[in-house]
A and B are shown apart, each in its own frame.
Chain A
Amino acid sequence: MTITEKILAAHAGKQEVKPGELINARVDLVLGNDITAPVAIKEFARIGVDKVFDPEAIALVPDHFTPNKDIKSAEQAKMVREFAKKYGIVHYFEVGKMGIEHCLLPEQGLVGPGDLVIGADSHTCTYGALGAFSTGVGSTDMAAGMALGEVWLKVPPSIRFHYYGTLPPWVGGKDLILYTIGRIGVDGALYSAMEFTGETVAALTMDDRFTMANMAIEAGAKNGIFPVDEKTLAYIDGRLKRPHKVYASDPEAEYAKEYEFDVSRLEPQVALPHLPENARPVSEITDVRIDQVVIGSCTNGRMKDLREAAQLLKGRRVHPEVRLIVIPGTQEIYLQALKEGLITDFIEAGGVVSTPTCGPCLGGYMGILAHGERAVATTNRNFVGRMGHPESEVYLAGPAVAAASAVKGRIAHPEEVSGNGA
């Protein structure tokens, strides 16, 4: 069996599961945010139970439109707050404690290897970086999960993505996943598990792995998952309060498909509007002027991302016609960035720094695009109207390309700013 099949079998109380099989599985954590939880709370009321299955196994993170962007959002956040209080939800994260959910939950030690997590947010697949089975569901599934502690799932076929070669400078997890989605398309892993393996991913930081697993959904996948290694165990050490179990794919595990990528010459990637599959090497994109750069989100709002961006922005100035918005993923990341002087670097370069929020990524607030405007963003989606006006454009990239582009005022290779080679 694959790692995904083993985790699902264990949570369904079975020795073995096969792709296509429908199972009822026990969940270790159920997640919701300020957009999806209100719908789930209404559905939960329809079920008619007077308690949740386990107040310790539910996480509520108001992060999309918080700090509240308008009266309607405030009402939604209030509904989540009151539900958390009424049912004694232990892991409710108020403004001041909250962060972007998929940066926050691993950081707070709420997810570990071998877990089965469902979340009413499509990027819940992020936790696959820790060797967990983790998938996005809707609000009704979240409501049922909160009541039963169970979820119905169809066991997905697994597709293996094997990467080899040492990555060139300025190339990281975001470039690997954009390249991969570019190769297979936005439905290239529909209903499937994406299993990331090989020496290249073994050499990646945990932050890079979170970035890759995060975007599995952009290929249509049910989950993305990494083998557990010493980096995973070092990451959870001191964070995870629950026991965990390490699963690994058998050497004879069956895959629906296998891809092998030599990434030793991979260039930083940029996905053109309006689909994440439109990935191109940055050198092929010439003279694309930009109005805004967003560095942050559940995809690239972690320490490695901020350090990489600061490395290029420190001592330089953001182009006079560009607005740079930097959003650390959590309060802990924000504080660490402050201690390391990165926030100073961003502000002195002419950028603004925001409190953690999903904000602009989904066109909520804190950086909406006007008609005809163009942004480079380290976020995960560049759909029509995603960051604002239906006739604005989003180019997806990693933090290095985003920072370099902010300096140049057009989409740029990091080496054009750092001066190494090129």
Chain B
Amino acid sequence: MVLKGRTWRFGDDIDTDVIIPARYLNTSDPKELAAHCMEDADPEFARQVRPGDIVVAGNNFGCGSSREHAPLAIKAAGISCVVAATFARIFYRNALNIGLPILECPAAAGEIKAGEELEINLEEGKIINTTTGKVYQAAPFPKFMRELIAAGGLIPYVRSRLNC
């Protein structure tokens, strides 16, 4: 799958309270969550994000709470992929489980700027910055996680385990 989009740039340690503040956690409706996504880091984000846009961030993206509302809000906002130097572990699990594409790539996270255009080949983990022409290679997923992604996330995987 090839994803194309314009980038939104964030720094290190973007926590789940910034991705979706707890004051909005009295609902689990993805659309309502998306309307407040990244609100405390960039109040313009939810209004100006376009379907397919890509989030690029530094270290430890998604640290803090285990709320799945965080990747759900990002996905429902229309973000096609999150590229970060590293991810916090619960966010990483949650993103894989719900089918939000994420890539770990410190080099890309270090150089890509806001508003640049990217082309991402998820299977190959290849990130092309079509604005600058630079190409980056993300760390490949372990085999089990590739299976999970291929199954469409954890729920279809569990269904197949239970032969539902």
Contact = CB atoms under 8 A, between A and B. Distances in A.
A136 B21 CA distance: 19
A38 B164 contact: no
Contact of B40 (A43, A381, A390): A390
A121 B21 contact: no
Nearest to B164: A48
Given A137-B93, A381-B17, A38 B159 contact: no
A222 interface: yes
Contact of A191 (B17, B89, B158, B161): B89
Interface stretch (B24-32, B48-56, B127-135): B24-32
Interface stretch (A138-146, A230-238, A304-312): A138-146
Interface in A39-84: 39, 42-43, 46-49, 64-65, 69-70, 72-73, 76
A8 to B, nearest CB: 15
A186 interface: yes
Contacts of A363: 17, 21-23
A384 interface: yes
A383 B22 CA distance: 12
B88 A187 contact: yes
B67 A140 contact: no
B82 interface: no
Among A48, A137, A138, the one with the most B-chain Cβ atoms within 10 Å of its Cβ is A138
A365 to B, nearest CB: 9
Among A35, A147, A217, the one with the most B-chain Cβ atoms within 10 Å of its Cβ is A35
Interface in B83-120: 86, 88-90, 93-94, 97-98
Given A72-B26, A363-B23, A385 B90 contact: no
A36 B90 CA distance: 13
A65 B22 CA distance: 10
Contacts of A385: 17-18, 21, 40
A275 B13 contact: yes
A276 to B, nearest CB: 10
Contact of A47 (B68, B144, B162): B162
Nearest to B13: A186
Given A47-B164, A147-B162, A362-B22, A384 B41 contact: yes
B26 A70 contact: yes
B39 to A, nearest CB: 8
B65 A362 contact: yes
A196 to B, nearest CB: 19
Interface string A140-157: 110110011000101000
- Interface size range on B against A: 35 or more
B77 interface: no
A144 to B, nearest CB: 5
Interface residues of A, number: 52
B13 to A, nearest CB: 6
Nearest to A76: B26
Contact of B90 (A49, A138, A154): A138
Nearest to A23: B144
Contact of A383 (B18, B69, B97, B98): B18
A140 B90 contact: no
Among B39, B64, B71, B142, the one with the most A-chain Cβ atoms within 10 Å of its Cβ is B64
B64 A381 contact: yes
Given A190-B60, A190-B89, A390-B40, A36 B68 contact: yes
Contacts of A49: 162, 164
B155 A362 contact: no
Contacts of B22: 35, 64, 362-364, 386
Contacts of B41: 384
A122 B62 CA distance: 12
Contacts of B162: 47, 49, 147-148
A363 B24 CA distance: 10
B154 interface: yes
Contacts of B18: 383-385
Nearest to B59: A187
Contact of B66 (A36, A43, A70): A36
Nearest to B94: A138
B161 A386 contact: no
A64 B26 CA distance: 10
B153 interface: yes
B90 A122 contact: yes
A26 B124 CA distance: 33
Contacts of A42: 28
9 contacts: A35-B25, A39-B68, A124-B66, A137-B90, A187-B59, A217-B64, A220-B63, A381-B64, A390-B21
The 5 lowest CB-CB distance pairs between A and B, nearest first, are A138-B94, A72-B26, A140-B97, A138-B68, A362-B22
Interface of B: 13, 15, 17-18, 21-23, 25-28, 39-41, 59-60, 63-69, 71-72, 86, 88-90, 93-94, 97-98, 142, 144, 153-155, 157-159, 161-162, 164
